[in-house]
Chain A
Amino acid sequence: MDIDFAELASLVALLKEADFSEFRYEKGDVRIQVRRGALETESTAPVVSMIPSPKTAVHVAPAAPLPASQPAAATRVSAQTVPGASVIQAPMLGTFYAAPKPGEPAFVQVGDRVESDAVVGIVEVMKLMNSVHAGIRGTVVAVHVNNGELVEFGQALFSVQEDSA
């Protein structure tokens, strides 16, 4: 193995600041793979079963206005839901996956527009993959969960600024 450890260290330092769930690096026969969140088995590529989720979208009553700093359109995961925005909730308890397969881009990111039938994530329960549909139309303004995390029933996954009717 001819890995330059200094190079690797700087790479890791860079990654520390970046927002990602999986990183792959290939150079010659050197392959580096870095993941955040829970481990997934490579071989079992999620088969997306289209189970209709009854009501994934629930309006969150605009609670007490938050202090000045409105969460900007960053891709960072935020715990706070966005005032005035609607929330896409987990339709069941399970492990949340943001992308269709490890290494692939996330279904949605902050700033993306979603239609109500759009798949925004996967919730895995005992190896059964369940698609999560947006259920609402609008723009994603916040992501509330990390890839590979346990999500509970009803947990907020995304905040979406709905298109005005």
Chain B
Amino acid sequence: MTQRHKVFVANRGEIALRIVEACDRLGVDTVLGVSEADRDTLAARRAGQTVVLGPARANQSYLSMEAVVHASVVTGCTAVHPGYGFLSERSAFAQLCADNGLIFVGPRPEHLDVLGDKLSARRVAEAAGVPVSPGGPTTSGEEALVLAERIGYPVLVKAAFGGGGRGMKLVHNAADLVAAWDLASSEAAASFGDGTVFVERFVQNAKHVEVQILADQHGHCIHLGERECSVQYRYQKVIEEAPCAALTPQARERLHGYALKIAQHIGYVSLGTVEFLYDVERGDLCFLEVNPRVQVEHPVTEAVTGVDLVREQLLVAFGEPLRLRQQDILIQGHAVELRITAQDPEHELRPSPGRLKKWRPAPLGGVRWDTHLYEGYLFPPYYDALMAKVIAHGNDRAAALQRLRMTLQRLEIEGPVTNVSLLQRLLDAPDVVSNTVTTRWLEVALHDLMGATA
């Protein structure tokens, strides 16, 4: 590195710790911005310097673009790492960083814009020659009927503009479609000022697969294989793994090719993930979205490739050329990650913050812990419920799962109610062991899983 860098870490929890660690190993100084509630966190102790951005509420601290940029400039930082969530996908924030001479550790603002919108991201995929879910925008109920007839029921009906899963409706037949369309259209018009409604095929049995990509500012772009994250509860991932054992070699090759095509089509720079749905029955892959940031589940890819993704993300942000080439990326063994959260599985995973009276993770070979927990830590109620990620790496999937069973068995944790009992049952669930889980599985299976021995 020709220039001496100093990184402002604009996040909290385990990922803040992960970024500080990556900077430490690069010999780069760090400044951590925290909320008032996070003064006593592990990341605050490890960072070179800590500044209090604002009160506990995220919109006045972690989401305050002005406070983060001001603090970064005044503390002499050259770059800002946004982690995941919070400001990581806000193009306005990336732009504000650029305007103030700060490197935003992520893609360019215009890419955050184009990828952040469902429709424009879909257009990018189509233009790159990557299959998208059958469907499209409609401006009348009649048009929707014709489209649905062509793509087949059931279909998902949702506002074309505006994000999130809000207002999505599942429609099984033509009789219900027009009413659902009218409702979605009026909602969309009221919320987003545009009544266009998106109608797309609803895939009943899909696996969630995603490809890790990494691109520098000098035209090099590689992929680091895929992950599978089908064990989800209401779109929240619970178990993630690499590689996806359900893919045929041909499907895998197509998947990686699609991800690279999208990245290359727009000239993407930085670390990113291209998400797809894999229709198990049809054998089809279709583009879902691009996550233009580091992801929670990045360690499973690190485990099977041996590449430190956060380090690479920082280096490409600093303008370094990528030293890795596609042929350097070899997948070894299988890795599985569990998300330990402060959520009560007996009560539909409701949050359960509180003080950790006991926290003793057992050291085991082949197991990595990414966590900001320590005994006595008060797990705050203001942010997400992620407490720890435990990642096991084995020669094959069965070996990785076995390591996780042993890890959870030896974990001593007291205080907040956690999802550990659910994770233990998941590791023994026949559908998980045989890898036949699809994205809606846990929503249906949760009750039976928890009821089995309760």
Residues in chain A within 8 A of chain B (CB atoms): 38, 92-95, 124-126, 128, 150, 152-155
Contacts and interface: CB of A to CB of B under 8 A. Distances in A.
Contacts of A95: 70, 74
A94 B75 CA distance: 11
B52 A126 contact: no
Given A93-B67, A153-B36, 15 more contacts: A93-B54, A93-B64, A93-B70, A94-B67, A124-B70, A126-B66, A128-B66, A150-B74, A152-B51, A152-B52, A152-B53, A153-B52, A153-B53, A153-B67, A154-B36
A152 B52 CA distance: 5
Contacts of A150: 51, 71, 74-75
A94 B69 CA distance: 10
Nearest to A152: B52
B52 A155 contact: yes
B319 interface: no
Contacts of B54: 92-93, 153
B61 interface: yes
Contacts of A154: 36, 52, 55
| Residue picked from A92, A124, A125, A154, most chain B C-beta under 10 Å | A92
A94 B70 contact: yes
Contacts of A92: 54, 60, 67
Nearest to B61: A153
A160 to B, nearest CB: 21
Contacts of B64: 93
Interface in B32-80: 36, 51-55, 60-61, 64, 66-67, 69-71, 74-75
Contacts of A128: 66
B52 A125 contact: no
Contacts, number: 42
Nearest to A94: B70
Contacts of B60: 92
Interface in B205-239: none
Given A125-B66, A153-B61, A93 B52 contact: yes
A126 B51 CA distance: 16
Contacts of A152: 51-53
Nearest to B53: A93
6 contacts: A38-B74, A95-B70, A124-B70, A126-B69, A154-B36, A155-B52
Interface string B310-344: 00000000000000000000000000000000000
Contact of A153 (B55, B66, B69, B74): B55
A150 B68 CA distance: 12
Interface string B74-92: 1100000000000000000
| Residue picked from B55, B66, B70, B75, most chain A C-beta under 10 Å | B70
A121 to B, nearest CB: 16
Contacts of B61: 153
A155 B71 CA distance: 14
A125 B96 CA distance: 13
Nearest to B54: A153
B80 to A, nearest CB: 14
A125 B64 CA distance: 10
A110 to B, nearest CB: 25
Contacts of A126: 66, 69-70
Nearest to B74: A150
Nearest to B35: A153
B326 to A, nearest CB: 42
A152 B70 CA distance: 11
A51 to B, nearest CB: 12
A129 to B, nearest CB: 12
A13 to B, nearest CB: 30
A93 B33 CA distance: 10
Contacts of A93: 51-54, 64, 67, 70-71
A93 to B, nearest CB: 5
B351 to A, nearest CB: 25
A152 B38 CA distance: 13
A38 B53 CA distance: 19
Interface string B177-221: 000000000000000000000000000000000000000000000
Contacts of A94: 67, 70
The 10 A-B residue pairs with the shortest CB-CB distance, nearest first, are A152-B52, A126-B66, A150-B74, A153-B54, A153-B52, A93-B67, A125-B66, A152-B51, A125-B70, A93-B53
Given A93-B51, A152-B51, A153-B54, A125 B67 contact: yes
A135 B69 CA distance: 28
B39 to A, nearest CB: 9
A52 to B, nearest CB: 14
A92 to B, nearest CB: 6
A154 B52 CA distance: 8
Nearest to B55: A153
Contacts of A124: 70
Contacts of A153: 36, 52-55, 61, 67
A38 to B, nearest CB: 8
A154 B53 CA distance: 9
Contacts of B52: 93, 152-155
